Amino acid sequence: MLNGEKILFSGMQATGNLTLGNYLGALKNWVQIADEYTTFYSVVDMHSITVRQDPAEFRKRARNLLTLYIAAGLDPEKNCIYYQSHVSGHAELAWVLNCFTYMGELNRMTQFKDKAAKHADNINAGLFTYPVLMAADILLYQADVVPVGIDQMQHLELCRDIAQRFNSIYGDVFTIPEAYLGKSGAKIMSLQDPSKKMSKSDENVNASIYLMDDPDSIIRKFKRAVTDSEAHICYRDEQPGIKNLLDIYCACTGKTPDEAVKEFENGGYGDFKLAVGETVVSVLRPLQEKYQELSKNKDYIDQVIKNNAEKANYYATKTLRKVHKKIGFPERIR
Ligand code: TYM
Protein backbone atom coordinates (compact mmCIF):
# COMPACT_ATOMS: atom_id res chain seq x y z
CA MET A 1 0.00 0.00 0.00
CA LEU A 2 1.14 3.50 -0.77
CA ASN A 3 -0.81 6.56 0.39
CA GLY A 4 -3.73 4.28 1.29
CA GLU A 5 -3.88 2.78 -2.19
CA LYS A 6 -2.87 -0.60 -3.51
CA ILE A 7 0.12 -0.63 -5.84
CA LEU A 8 0.03 -1.70 -9.47
CA PHE A 9 3.04 -2.52 -11.65
CA SER A 10 3.14 -3.48 -15.29
CA GLY A 11 5.45 -3.17 -18.25
CA MET A 12 5.80 -3.70 -21.95
CA GLN A 13 8.74 -4.29 -24.24
CA ALA A 14 9.77 -1.75 -26.80
CA THR A 15 10.58 -4.29 -29.48
CA GLY A 16 8.67 -4.58 -32.74
CA ASN A 17 5.45 -2.75 -33.47
CA LEU A 18 2.84 -3.03 -30.76
CA THR A 19 -0.18 -5.06 -31.76
CA LEU A 20 -3.87 -4.97 -31.00
CA GLY A 21 -3.09 -7.87 -28.61
CA ASN A 22 -0.81 -5.64 -26.53
CA TYR A 23 -3.49 -2.98 -26.50
CA LEU A 24 -6.53 -5.10 -25.66
CA GLY A 25 -4.66 -7.52 -23.39
CA ALA A 26 -2.71 -4.90 -21.47
CA LEU A 27 -2.66 -1.18 -22.24
CA LYS A 28 -6.42 -0.71 -22.40
CA ASN A 29 -6.85 -2.40 -19.00
CA TRP A 30 -4.03 -0.33 -17.55
CA VAL A 31 -5.94 2.82 -18.39
CA GLN A 32 -9.27 1.47 -17.14
CA ILE A 33 -8.01 0.52 -13.69
CA ALA A 34 -5.30 3.17 -13.19
CA ASP A 35 -7.43 5.39 -10.95
CA GLU A 36 -7.92 2.67 -8.36
CA TYR A 37 -4.19 2.23 -7.67
CA THR A 38 -0.84 3.89 -7.22
CA THR A 39 0.69 2.83 -10.51
CA PHE A 40 4.09 2.16 -12.05
CA TYR A 41 4.11 1.56 -15.80
CA SER A 42 7.54 0.80 -17.15
CA VAL A 43 8.99 0.63 -20.64
CA VAL A 44 11.00 -2.50 -19.89
CA ASP A 45 13.96 -1.80 -22.16
CA MET A 46 16.36 -4.00 -20.17
CA HIS A 47 14.25 -7.01 -21.06
CA SER A 48 14.56 -6.23 -24.75
CA ILE A 49 18.33 -6.71 -24.98
CA THR A 50 17.95 -10.45 -24.49
CA VAL A 51 17.52 -10.23 -28.26
CA ARG A 52 19.95 -8.10 -30.34
CA GLN A 53 18.71 -4.57 -31.01
CA ASP A 54 19.88 -1.85 -33.35
CA PRO A 55 20.80 0.94 -30.87
CA ALA A 56 19.30 3.94 -32.71
CA GLU A 57 16.14 2.10 -33.67
CA PHE A 58 15.78 0.68 -30.15
CA ARG A 59 16.09 4.11 -28.51
CA LYS A 60 13.43 5.47 -30.85
CA ARG A 61 11.05 2.60 -30.16
CA ALA A 62 11.42 2.98 -26.42
CA ARG A 63 10.50 6.64 -26.61
CA ASN A 64 7.58 5.88 -28.92
CA LEU A 65 6.29 3.32 -26.46
CA LEU A 66 6.53 5.72 -23.54
CA THR A 67 4.63 8.29 -25.62
CA LEU A 68 2.04 5.69 -26.47
CA TYR A 69 1.36 4.98 -22.78
CA ILE A 70 0.40 8.64 -22.39
CA ALA A 71 -1.55 8.69 -25.67
CA ALA A 72 -3.59 5.71 -24.48
CA GLY A 73 -4.82 7.82 -21.57
CA LEU A 74 -2.34 7.37 -18.73
CA ASP A 75 -1.76 10.74 -17.10
CA PRO A 76 1.97 10.89 -16.27
CA GLU A 77 1.27 13.19 -13.31
CA LYS A 78 -0.70 10.40 -11.67
CA ASN A 79 0.96 7.32 -13.15
CA CYS A 80 4.68 6.75 -12.86
CA ILE A 81 5.66 6.13 -16.50
CA TYR A 82 9.38 5.51 -16.84
CA TYR A 83 12.20 3.56 -18.48
CA GLN A 84 13.36 0.48 -16.61
CA SER A 85 17.01 1.26 -17.50
CA HIS A 86 16.75 4.59 -15.62
CA VAL A 87 16.24 2.78 -12.32
CA SER A 88 19.30 0.72 -11.43
CA GLY A 89 17.36 -1.01 -8.66
CA HIS A 90 15.79 -3.38 -11.21
CA ALA A 91 19.17 -4.92 -12.03
CA GLU A 92 20.31 -4.89 -8.42
CA LEU A 93 17.25 -6.69 -7.11
CA ALA A 94 17.35 -9.11 -10.04
CA TRP A 95 20.82 -10.21 -8.94
CA VAL A 96 19.62 -10.91 -5.41
CA LEU A 97 16.57 -12.80 -6.67
CA ASN A 98 18.74 -14.83 -9.05
CA CYS A 99 20.22 -16.36 -5.93
CA PHE A 100 16.73 -17.42 -4.80
CA THR A 101 15.58 -18.94 -8.09
CA TYR A 102 16.31 -22.49 -9.22
CA MET A 103 17.58 -23.52 -12.62
CA GLY A 104 14.81 -26.12 -12.76
CA GLU A 105 12.17 -23.40 -12.36
CA LEU A 106 13.65 -21.33 -15.19
CA ASN A 107 13.98 -24.41 -17.39
CA ARG A 108 10.22 -24.89 -17.23
CA MET A 109 9.38 -21.45 -18.63
CA THR A 110 7.60 -21.93 -21.94
CA GLN A 111 8.53 -18.47 -23.20
CA PHE A 112 12.22 -19.30 -22.72
CA LYS A 113 11.79 -22.50 -24.70
CA ASP A 114 9.97 -20.66 -27.50
CA LYS A 115 12.49 -17.82 -27.67
CA ALA A 116 15.47 -20.18 -27.48
CA ALA A 117 14.06 -22.08 -30.44
CA LYS A 118 13.55 -18.84 -32.36
CA HIS A 119 16.99 -17.39 -31.60
CA ALA A 120 19.05 -20.58 -31.59
CA ASP A 121 22.23 -18.64 -32.43
CA ASN A 122 21.91 -16.43 -29.33
CA ILE A 123 20.61 -18.34 -26.31
CA ASN A 124 22.18 -15.98 -23.79
CA ALA A 125 22.01 -16.13 -20.00
CA GLY A 126 19.77 -13.03 -19.98
CA LEU A 127 17.14 -14.87 -21.98
CA PHE A 128 17.22 -17.63 -19.38
CA THR A 129 17.01 -15.36 -16.31
CA TYR A 130 14.53 -12.96 -17.93
CA PRO A 131 11.71 -14.04 -15.56
CA VAL A 132 13.88 -13.14 -12.56
CA LEU A 133 14.28 -9.58 -13.87
CA MET A 134 10.54 -9.52 -14.35
CA ALA A 135 10.04 -10.64 -10.72
CA ALA A 136 12.42 -7.87 -9.63
CA ASP A 137 10.36 -5.29 -11.58
CA ILE A 138 7.24 -6.26 -9.72
CA LEU A 139 8.67 -6.82 -6.23
CA LEU A 140 10.75 -3.64 -6.30
CA TYR A 141 7.58 -1.57 -6.02
CA GLN A 142 5.79 -3.96 -3.64
CA ALA A 143 3.07 -4.33 -6.26
CA ASP A 144 -0.26 -5.83 -5.18
CA VAL A 145 -1.62 -6.13 -8.70
CA VAL A 146 -0.04 -6.87 -12.09
CA PRO A 147 -2.27 -6.53 -15.17
CA VAL A 148 -0.99 -8.82 -17.95
CA GLY A 149 -2.20 -10.99 -20.80
CA ILE A 150 -2.42 -14.78 -20.38
CA ASP A 151 1.03 -15.35 -21.93
CA GLN A 152 2.70 -13.75 -18.89
CA MET A 153 0.88 -15.81 -16.24
CA GLN A 154 3.63 -18.40 -15.88
CA HIS A 155 6.19 -15.65 -15.20
CA LEU A 156 3.89 -14.11 -12.64
CA GLU A 157 3.46 -17.44 -10.84
CA LEU A 158 7.24 -17.76 -10.65
CA CYS A 159 7.47 -14.23 -9.26
CA ARG A 160 5.04 -15.19 -6.50
CA ASP A 161 7.06 -18.32 -5.72
CA ILE A 162 10.31 -16.36 -5.48
CA ALA A 163 8.69 -13.74 -3.24
CA GLN A 164 7.20 -16.39 -0.96
CA ARG A 165 10.53 -18.21 -0.75
CA PHE A 166 12.31 -15.01 0.18
CA ASN A 167 9.67 -14.02 2.72
CA SER A 168 9.76 -17.46 4.34
CA ILE A 169 13.46 -16.92 5.09
CA TYR A 170 13.57 -13.22 5.96
CA GLY A 171 10.05 -12.30 7.08
CA ASP A 172 7.51 -10.11 5.31
CA VAL A 173 9.76 -8.27 2.88
CA PHE A 174 7.79 -8.48 -0.35
CA THR A 175 4.11 -8.05 -1.10
CA ILE A 176 2.85 -11.14 -2.93
CA PRO A 177 1.38 -9.84 -6.21
CA GLU A 178 -1.84 -10.96 -7.88
CA ALA A 179 -2.36 -11.09 -11.64
CA TYR A 180 -5.11 -9.00 -13.15
CA LEU A 181 -6.64 -10.37 -16.34
CA GLY A 182 -9.15 -8.28 -18.27
CA LYS A 183 -12.68 -9.67 -18.79
CA SER A 184 -11.96 -10.06 -22.48
CA GLY A 185 -8.91 -9.66 -24.69
CA ALA A 186 -6.44 -11.51 -22.44
CA LYS A 187 -5.40 -13.63 -25.40
CA ILE A 188 -5.90 -12.15 -28.84
CA MET A 189 -5.00 -14.61 -31.59
CA SER A 190 -3.41 -14.20 -34.99
CA LEU A 191 -5.84 -13.21 -37.77
CA GLN A 192 -4.16 -15.70 -40.11
CA ASP A 193 -3.80 -18.64 -37.72
CA PRO A 194 -6.21 -18.44 -34.78
CA SER A 195 -4.37 -21.21 -32.94
CA LYS A 196 -1.41 -18.82 -32.46
CA LYS A 197 -1.15 -15.69 -30.32
CA MET A 198 -1.15 -12.37 -32.17
CA SER A 199 2.48 -11.37 -31.92
CA LYS A 200 4.75 -8.43 -32.77
CA SER A 201 7.26 -10.81 -34.28
CA ASP A 202 4.90 -12.61 -36.70
CA GLU A 203 6.41 -12.57 -40.18
CA ASN A 204 3.01 -12.40 -41.85
CA VAL A 205 1.91 -8.75 -41.60
CA ASN A 206 -1.71 -9.79 -42.20
CA ALA A 207 -1.66 -11.82 -38.97
CA SER A 208 -1.45 -8.79 -36.69
CA ILE A 209 -3.12 -5.42 -36.41
CA TYR A 210 -0.45 -2.88 -35.47
CA LEU A 211 -1.52 0.04 -33.35
CA MET A 212 -0.34 2.53 -35.96
CA ASP A 213 -1.98 0.76 -38.93
CA ASP A 214 -4.09 3.07 -41.10
CA PRO A 215 -7.85 2.41 -41.38
CA ASP A 216 -7.63 0.84 -44.85
CA SER A 217 -5.01 -1.69 -43.74
CA ILE A 218 -7.05 -2.57 -40.66
CA ILE A 219 -10.21 -3.19 -42.66
CA ARG A 220 -8.27 -5.16 -45.29
CA LYS A 221 -6.67 -7.39 -42.64
CA PHE A 222 -10.02 -8.11 -41.00
CA LYS A 223 -11.61 -8.91 -44.36
CA ARG A 224 -8.82 -11.46 -44.93
CA ALA A 225 -9.03 -12.92 -41.43
CA VAL A 226 -9.10 -16.74 -41.48
CA THR A 227 -12.42 -18.16 -40.26
CA ASP A 228 -14.15 -21.45 -41.17
CA SER A 229 -16.84 -22.88 -43.42
CA GLU A 230 -19.58 -23.25 -40.78
CA ALA A 231 -21.28 -20.04 -41.97
CA HIS A 232 -22.67 -19.51 -38.49
CA ILE A 233 -21.53 -17.00 -35.89
CA CYS A 234 -21.07 -18.81 -32.57
CA TYR A 235 -18.75 -18.27 -29.62
CA ARG A 236 -17.09 -21.67 -29.27
CA ASP A 237 -13.65 -23.29 -29.35
CA GLU A 238 -14.49 -25.28 -32.51
CA GLN A 239 -14.61 -21.97 -34.42
CA PRO A 240 -11.39 -20.30 -33.22
CA GLY A 241 -11.28 -17.65 -35.95
CA ILE A 242 -14.82 -16.43 -35.27
CA LYS A 243 -14.26 -16.68 -31.53
CA ASN A 244 -11.18 -14.48 -31.81
CA LEU A 245 -13.08 -11.87 -33.81
CA LEU A 246 -15.85 -11.91 -31.20
CA ASP A 247 -13.23 -11.51 -28.45
CA ILE A 248 -11.74 -8.51 -30.24
CA TYR A 249 -15.19 -7.00 -30.69
CA CYS A 250 -16.09 -7.55 -27.02
CA ALA A 251 -12.78 -6.17 -25.75
CA CYS A 252 -13.32 -3.05 -27.87
CA THR A 253 -16.96 -2.47 -26.97
CA GLY A 254 -17.28 -3.90 -23.46
CA LYS A 255 -20.08 -6.21 -24.67
CA THR A 256 -20.33 -9.85 -23.57
CA PRO A 257 -19.87 -12.68 -26.11
CA ASP A 258 -23.62 -13.46 -25.81
CA GLU A 259 -24.56 -9.91 -26.67
CA ALA A 260 -22.12 -9.87 -29.59
CA VAL A 261 -23.41 -13.18 -30.98
CA LYS A 262 -27.02 -11.92 -30.82
CA GLU A 263 -26.03 -8.83 -32.75
CA PHE A 264 -24.41 -10.76 -35.62
CA GLU A 265 -25.96 -14.25 -35.68
CA ASN A 266 -28.33 -13.56 -38.53
CA GLY A 267 -25.73 -12.02 -40.80
CA GLY A 268 -22.86 -13.36 -42.90
CA TYR A 269 -19.15 -13.53 -42.10
CA GLY A 270 -18.35 -10.68 -44.52
CA ASP A 271 -20.53 -8.13 -42.72
CA PHE A 272 -19.32 -9.36 -39.35
CA LYS A 273 -15.64 -8.99 -40.27
CA LEU A 274 -16.28 -5.50 -41.60
CA ALA A 275 -18.09 -4.49 -38.41
CA VAL A 276 -15.23 -5.76 -36.24
CA GLY A 277 -12.71 -3.93 -38.46
CA GLU A 278 -14.67 -0.68 -38.21
CA THR A 279 -14.91 -1.01 -34.45
CA VAL A 280 -11.15 -1.47 -34.19
CA VAL A 281 -10.57 1.56 -36.44
CA SER A 282 -12.77 3.68 -34.18
CA VAL A 283 -10.92 2.50 -31.06
CA LEU A 284 -7.46 3.12 -32.51
CA ARG A 285 -8.15 6.45 -34.20
CA PRO A 286 -8.12 8.65 -31.05
CA LEU A 287 -5.04 6.81 -29.79
CA GLN A 288 -3.18 7.47 -33.04
CA GLU A 289 -4.20 11.14 -33.11
CA LYS A 290 -3.12 11.75 -29.54
CA TYR A 291 0.14 9.93 -30.20
CA GLN A 292 0.94 12.13 -33.21
CA GLU A 293 0.21 15.26 -31.20
CA LEU A 294 2.33 14.19 -28.21
CA SER A 295 5.25 13.12 -30.38
CA LYS A 296 5.71 16.75 -31.45
CA ASN A 297 6.06 17.91 -27.85
CA LYS A 298 9.65 16.93 -27.07
CA ASP A 299 10.05 19.09 -23.95
CA TYR A 300 6.95 17.70 -22.35
CA ILE A 301 7.98 14.07 -22.91
CA ASP A 302 11.51 14.84 -21.65
CA GLN A 303 10.05 16.30 -18.46
CA VAL A 304 7.90 13.20 -17.92
CA ILE A 305 10.96 10.98 -18.38
CA LYS A 306 13.00 12.97 -15.87
CA ASN A 307 10.37 13.42 -13.17
CA ASN A 308 9.08 9.89 -13.22
CA ALA A 309 12.53 8.30 -13.21
CA GLU A 310 13.21 10.20 -9.98
CA LYS A 311 9.95 9.06 -8.48
CA ALA A 312 10.49 5.42 -9.46
CA ASN A 313 14.04 5.52 -8.11
CA TYR A 314 12.80 6.79 -4.79
CA TYR A 315 10.43 3.85 -4.23
CA ALA A 316 12.83 1.30 -5.71
CA THR A 317 15.60 2.37 -3.35
CA LYS A 318 13.32 1.95 -0.35
CA THR A 319 12.70 -1.71 -1.15
CA LEU A 320 16.29 -2.35 -2.10
CA ARG A 321 17.64 -0.97 1.20
CA LYS A 322 15.21 -3.20 3.07
CA VAL A 323 16.32 -6.25 1.10
CA HIS A 324 20.03 -5.47 1.59
CA LYS A 325 19.53 -5.14 5.32
CA LYS A 326 17.62 -8.40 5.57
CA ILE A 327 20.20 -10.44 3.69
CA GLY A 328 23.05 -8.97 5.75
CA PHE A 329 24.90 -6.60 3.39
CA PRO A 330 27.00 -4.13 5.41
CA GLU A 331 25.37 -0.86 6.42
CA ARG A 332 26.22 2.28 4.46
CA ILE A 333 28.23 4.84 6.39
CA ARG A 334 26.83 8.34 5.90
P1 TYM B 1 5.19 -8.02 -23.87
O2 TYM B 1 5.94 -6.78 -24.14
O3 TYM B 1 5.42 -9.19 -24.74
O4 TYM B 1 3.65 -7.74 -23.87
C5 TYM B 1 3.10 -6.65 -23.14
C6 TYM B 1 1.73 -7.03 -22.61
O7 TYM B 1 0.86 -7.38 -23.68
C8 TYM B 1 0.26 -8.64 -23.43
N9 TYM B 1 0.04 -9.33 -24.72
C10 TYM B 1 -1.13 -9.83 -25.12
N11 TYM B 1 -2.34 -9.85 -24.54
C12 TYM B 1 -3.36 -10.43 -25.23
N13 TYM B 1 -3.22 -10.99 -26.45
C14 TYM B 1 -2.02 -11.00 -27.07
N15 TYM B 1 -1.91 -11.55 -28.29
C16 TYM B 1 -0.90 -10.41 -26.41
N17 TYM B 1 0.40 -10.22 -26.73
C18 TYM B 1 0.97 -9.57 -25.68
C19 TYM B 1 1.26 -9.37 -22.54
O20 TYM B 1 0.64 -10.38 -21.78
C21 TYM B 1 1.77 -8.25 -21.67
O22 TYM B 1 0.91 -8.01 -20.57
N23 TYM B 1 7.71 -9.90 -20.00
C24 TYM B 1 6.70 -8.95 -20.38
C25 TYM B 1 7.00 -7.54 -19.98
C26 TYM B 1 7.30 -7.35 -18.54
C27 TYM B 1 6.36 -7.28 -17.48
C28 TYM B 1 7.12 -7.08 -16.30
C29 TYM B 1 4.97 -7.38 -17.43
C30 TYM B 1 8.53 -7.19 -18.01
N31 TYM B 1 8.42 -7.02 -16.65
C32 TYM B 1 6.51 -6.98 -15.07
C33 TYM B 1 4.35 -7.27 -16.18
C34 TYM B 1 5.12 -7.07 -15.02
C35 TYM B 1 6.56 -8.98 -21.89
O36 TYM B 1 7.46 -9.35 -22.60
O37 TYM B 1 5.40 -8.45 -22.34
Active site residues: 115, 197, 200
User: What pLDDT was estimated at residue 139?
Assistant: 98
pLDDT 10s digits, 268-301: 999 999 999 999 999 999 999 999 999 999 999 9
User: What pLDDT was estimated at residue 186?
Assistant: 87
> Ligand 1 within 6 A of 47 CB?
yes
Q: Which residue's CA is minimally distant from atom 26 of ligand 1?
A: 11
CA 14 distance to own-chain centroid = 10
* Angstrom distance (rounded) from CA 50 to CA 94: 15
* Angstrom distance (rounded) from CA 300 to CA 34: 21
User: What pLDDT was estimated at residue 52?
Assistant: 92
Strands 79-83 and 37-43: parallel
User: What pLDDT was estimated at residue 254?
Assistant: 93
**Three-class SS of residue 9?**
strand
Average pLDDT of the residues in 187-195 = 96
**Could you tell which of 7, 9, 12 is best to mutate to test the pocket of ligand 1, judged by most ligand atoms within 8 Å of the CB?**
12
- Cβ(245)–Cβ(225) under 8 Å? yes
pLDDT 10s digits, 195-252: 999 998 899 999 999 999 999 999 999 999 999 999 999 999 999 999 999 999 999 9
Average pLDDT of the residues in 42-55 = 96
Average pLDDT of the residues in 124-138 = 97
Least confident of 34-38, 40-44, 147-151, 326-330: 147-151
Q: Which residues contact 119 (CB under 8 A, 6 or more apart)?
A: 51, 127
Distance from the CA of 300 to the center of ligand 1, in angstroms?
27
- Is the pLDDT reported for residue 16 higher than 90? no
> Ligand 1 within 6 A of 138 CB?
yes
Average pLDDT of the residues in 18-31 = 94
Q: Which residue's CA is minimally distant from atom 14 of ligand 1?
A: 21
Which alpha helices (DSSP H) does the chain contain, by range? 20-22, 28-33, 45-48, 55-71, 89-98, 103-107, 110-118, 125-140, 153-170, 215-223, 240-253, 257-264, 269-295, 298-327
- Is the pLDDT reported for residue 19 higher than 90? yes
Least confident of 11-20, 136-145, 251-260: 11-20
pTM here is 0.94
Query: Phi, psi (5° rounding) for residue 169?
Result: -90, -45
Q: How many CB atoms lie within 10 A of CB 192?
A: 18
User: What pLDDT was estimated at residue 308?
Assistant: 98
User: What pLDDT was estimated at residue 182?
Assistant: 84
Average pLDDT of the residues in 305-323 = 98
- Is the pLDDT reported for residue 84 higher than 80? yes
Least confident of 15-29, 158-172, 260-274, 280-294: 15-29
User: What pLDDT was estimated at residue 101?
Assistant: 98
**Could you tell which of 8, 111, 118, 148 is best to mutate to test the pocket of ligand 1, judged by most ligand atoms within 8 Å of the CB?**
148
Q: Which residue's CA is minimally distant from atom 31 of ligand 1?
A: 134
Angle between helices 153-170 and 110-118 (to 10 degrees): 130
User: What pLDDT was estimated at residue 218?
Assistant: 98
> Ligand 1 within 6 A of 134 CB?
yes
> Ligand 1 within 6 A of 89 CB?
no
Distance from the CA of 180 to the center of ligand 1, in angstroms?
12
Q: Which residue's CA is minimally distant from atom 9 of ligand 1?
A: 22
Average pLDDT of the residues in 50-58 = 95
User: What pLDDT was estimated at residue 314?
Assistant: 98
> Ligand 1 within 6 A of 148 CB?
yes
Distance from the CA of 186 to the center of ligand 1, in angstroms?
10
**Could you tell which of 20, 22, 46 is best to mutate to test the pocket of ligand 1, judged by most ligand atoms within 8 Å of the CB?**
22
DSSP 27: I
User: What pLDDT was estimated at residue 72?
Assistant: 96
User: What pLDDT was estimated at residue 119?
Assistant: 87
User: What pLDDT was estimated at residue 255?
Assistant: 95
User: What pLDDT was estimated at residue 17?
Assistant: 85
